[in-house]
Structure 1
Amino acid sequence: MSHVANVMVSVDSDDRSGVEELSQWLQTAAPRRGFGPGAVGWVGSLDETTGGNTHWGGGKYPECDVYAGALNHADLAGLVAHVERISWEHPESVQLFVMDQDQAYFRVWMFHGAELRQIVPEGREEG
């Protein structure tokens, strides 16, 4: 049985290598939810959604770099922790969007100093 989480990462264009590192980790060494303690391996990958071969509405190209993927059995706490450990060129521009299976909206994480924190709109629960 699958357990899918939708993930997007928005970064400064100088941080392409950080996203490539993250995607490689998701393909080889990410912790896997539901497979017992210490289970790691392939949970998916991230692809660029804002490159020259993509189509966005409007008459201009997007002025952001966004990567996305549908991850399967990903340990999302492990994902957030790994994103926090990457050596980003511009951490102030990193935004991590995660919508776990059966959730109705994306949770958003951004850096506050060296720490990745979930940004919660007023009136919404943390989690």
Structure 2
Amino acid sequence: MSHVANIMISVETDDRSTVEELSQWLRTAAPRRGFGPGAVGWVGSLNEITGSSTQWGGGKYPECDVYAGALNHADLDGLVAHVERIAWKQPEFVQLFVMDQEQVYFRVWMFHGAKLRQVVPDGREEEVWSRDSAT
């Protein structure tokens, strides 16, 4: 059985190597959900989705550095905590997008000072689904 979470992270060009280190951590030492306390190991990795060989709609190349991955059994609280502890060169430009299984929109995390804060609130699915079931 799998438990998939979609993540993306947008960074300044100076932090490309830092994202590669994050991807390596996801491959080897990330906390794993559903495997007991202290379980760590492979949950996935990140690939750049804005490289020079990538073209988005509109006929132009993206002018940002974004990496994405579909993680399996990742402890997302552990992921957010790890991203907060990383020594980013440009933390004020880091944007972490997290969509857990059964969620339908990304939660967005950004640095405010030294802390990573969620800037898009939880609960939107419940608002919509409860409104839909009332009709």
TM-score with structure 2 setting the length: 0.88
Matched ranges for 1:47-126 at <5 A: 47-120=47-120, 125=123
CA distance in 1 between counterparts of 2:3 and 2:120 reads 24
Greater per-residue helix proportion = 2
Correspondence 1:9 to 2:9: yes
- Partner amino acid, structure 2, of 1:10: S
- Partner amino acid, structure 2, of 1:113: G
CA distance in 1 between counterparts of 2:123 and 2:114 reads 23
Partner of 2:130: none
- SS of the aligned residue for 1:68 comes to strand
CA distance in 1 between counterparts of 2:12 and 2:84 reads 15
- SS of the aligned residue for 1:9 comes to strand
Larger gyration radius, structure 1 or structure 2: 2
Deviation at 1:17, TM superposition (A): 1.1
Q: Which runs of 5+ in 1 are unaligned?
A: none
Deviation at 1:87, TM superposition (A): 0.8
Correspondence 1:25 to 2:25: yes
Deviation at 1:16, TM superposition (A): 0.5
Matched length: 124
Sequence identity percentage? 81
- Partner amino acid, structure 1, of 2:10: S
Alpha carbon RMSD of aligned pairs, Å?
Answer: 1.2
- SS of the aligned residue for 1:50 comes to coil
Deviation at 1:120, TM superposition (A): 2.3
Deviations 1:24-69 (A, max 9, x none): 0000000000000000000000000000111211132111100000
CA distance in 1 between counterparts of 2:41 and 2:104 reads 27
TM-score with structure 1 setting the length: 0.94
